[in-house]
Structure 1
Amino acid sequence: MFLKGKTALITGSTSGIGLAYAKALAGAGADVVINGFGDRQAIEAERLALEAASGGRALYCGHDLSKADQIEAMMIEAANFGGVDILINNAGVQHVAPIEDFPVDKWDLIIALNLTSAFHTSRLAVPHMKAKKWGRIIQTASAHSLTASPFKAAYVTAKHGLAGLTKTIALEVATFGITANCISPG
């Protein structure tokens, strides 16, 4: 229970890798804030399971991470829940199409969810972390943060950007007891 007294916010955490992060953090004693979409009853069941695992608290915030005002609302809820000591930006989507056929709306959504949301959550979490002189920012990038694949223009662009954003954050916050890292599965 080495994370007792810490609160973790994990985006894209109602299933998959994000939910696994939430379970691990709750198991280590952290209060958790989960975010994502899906069946409300299934999400509530997971939220209750997270509370049982940690003996602590779990909050679900279903905000749309493609919208800055929704991200700000989620971060306010998280601040009222205890602040964000650990931020894991895991939300993401993908669309596959040749560059000349890539739908602009899909490009905008992928960049918003996979990159811009991480910028907003990070910028809003850092003041709390600085005040506590401790924080962890973890971005789920992918192998595509290091290489390219055909037909994935937006996804590869977002993941390369996420790696650069994380490096910049790490340099800016290192003297405050805060770390920022990418995990690149794949």
Structure 2
Amino acid sequence: MFQWTKKPGVAEGAAPAVRDINDLKGQVAVISGSTSGIGLALARAVAIRGGAVVLNGLGDPSEIERTRSELESSCGVPVRYHGADMRKGEEVADMVAFAKHDLGRLDILVNNAGIQHVEAVEKFPSDKWEQIIAINLSSAFYATRAAIPIMKAQGRGRIVNIASAHGLVASPFKSAYVAAKHGVLGFTKTVALELAQDNITCNAICPGFVETPIVEKQIADQARTRGISKEAVLKDVILAAQPTKRFVTTDELAGIFLYLVSDLGASANGASFSIDGGWTAQ
């Protein structure tokens, strides 16, 4: 019969010391699109656990500064802001370089920035298509390309791409968004394979509908496109796909995110994690 043996140095009856896997002290995270919504929730999750954060995103400058200052003071960690335009690859790369220069390292990269436009394909504006592909997909490439040398030099890194249930399935009137998010999943797999022996992982989180500013705008756009009320959009369009009939919460996304950036998530690589209330199980 197998006999358990006591590890040397552990007193009889004493519990071995357990390191908090969610301890991010000393780590630095860059999170695009993090002045509101999902990105801000993930930034807060990092800061609460002792990690420094570089915020990025749009909004009123005074409100962004208030958010940055509040996060820094309440969590006691460095919080910076970089105003990179996600449509411009050189600015995205500069955001990553800024983190290394200002905070000394880069451990976590979250490609989260995203926009949406709802319209039938034959009426879809060309400029909106180009903008969505640039922000939702190409920015992930530019940020990741800039981050890889830094992470390789450190011997560890975690890249998390915020995709969508629309990276796995489609919906009408969202051609650019669906195309971009499918692209994010393909990009995630390729990066994971290339870095598999460098102790750098790359995974994607695929949320269902989360109550964020981008979704609030979609409700109005869908009402206009479909010719129905906002209440009908919420009931019959937005939440119709989610069996739970409720929004995914940002705390629920933070849970899987913290797993992926921890040591426990080291063998999760090139994977997409559906956090969608059962949407893509149908």
Q: Identify the TM-score tier after normalising by the shorter chain.
A: over 0.9
Structure 2 CA distance, aligned partners of 1:141 and 1:72? 20
Pairing partner for 1:80 from 80, 101, 107? 101
CA contact under 8 A between 1:31 and 1:54: conserved in structure 2? no
Residue 152 of structure 2 corresponds to 130
Deviation at 1:73, TM superposition (A): 2.0
Secondary structure at the residue paired with 1:139? strand
- Distance (Å, rounded) in 1 between the aligned partners of 2:137 and 2:51: 25
- Structure 2 CA distance for aligned equivalents of residues 93 and 29 of structure 1: 29
What's the TM-score once normalised by structure 2's chain length? 0.64
Aligned mates of 1:177, 1:130 — CA distance in 2: 8
Tell me what 1:58 maps to: 79
Preserved contact between residue 23 and residue 53 of structure 1 (Cα < 8 Å): no
Tell me whether 1:158 sits opposite 2:180 in the alignment: yes
Between stretches 52-61 and 115-124, larger displacement belongs to 52-61
2:111 to 89, 93, 100: 89
Q: Which has the larger radius of gyration?
A: 2
Percent identity among equivalent residues?
54
What's the CA shift string for 1:21-62, capped at 9, x where partnerless?
000000111100000010111111111122124322011011
Partner of 2:57: 36
Bigger proportion of residues as helix: 1
Q: How far apart are 1:63 and its partner, in Å?
A: 1.2
User: Where in structure 1 are there 5+ consecutive unaligned residues?
Assistant: none
Secondary structure at the aligned position of 1:176 is classed as coil
The amino acid that maps onto 1:123 is: R
SS at match of 2:135: helix
Matched residue count: 186
Matches within 5 A, 1:90-129: 90-129=112-151
TM-score by length of 1: 0.97
Deviates more, 1:143-152 or 1:45-54: 45-54
**RMSD of Structure 2 on Structure 1 (CA):** 1.1
